[in-house]
Amino acid sequence: MGATVHREGKRFILGTDPDRTALMSGFGDHATTREVNDNLRLYKDWEAWVAEGSIDGLCAEESCPTALRIEGADPNPFRATLPSDFPLYTWVDTACFNNRDGTPFSLFNWDPHTPEDVLRQIDWGRDIGARGVFLHSLYHFTACDSGGESIGGYGVLPRQEYLDALKTCHRANDNP
């Protein structure tokens, strides 16, 4: 994958759970999920990927939380075995799952952080030394159009206040 992305002149930042063998963390108590976790083990050799130049950055990823929190995924497990200057990123969720009897991917079942909380999440990423922060689920706020109808905790979409907050953050920092 890295070679394909590099041929196009782009950087390849890989997002993955820092657990060496887990596909993703926090899938919950679903039987089929446990079966996947028990039977699908991929050894993630990020030292080799960095050494061969396959990846240009590594993002510590985690599954969506069921409660709003500022902190995201900790990239320190990567940092322990990679060169100190290798770009590491963190993944934060800008929403949490709250089952309201909709389907898992329905916006009706998700509660958002405020724009101010999203800015605090970016600050948290900077404070832990991440090169950048991947804002998971932010596209719901900014790219979905609910046609004027309120959806779950999201309200009416799109929500311009999130774009305004990110623009303010970008202008206030040299390295957004």
Average pLDDT over the chain reads: 85
How far does CA 24 lie from the centroid of its chain? Answer: 12
User: Helix-strand-coil percent breakdown of the chain, rounded to 5?
Assistant: 35, 15, 50
For the chain, what is the domain count?
1
* pLDDT band, residue 176 (cuts 50/70/90): very low
Query: Which domain does 47 fall in, by range?
Result: 2-172
Q: Which residue has the higher pLDDT, 154 or 133?
A: 133
Q: What is the pLDDT of residues 102-132, one digit of tens each?
A: 676 778 888 889 999 999 999 999 999 999 9
Bridge partner list, 57: 13
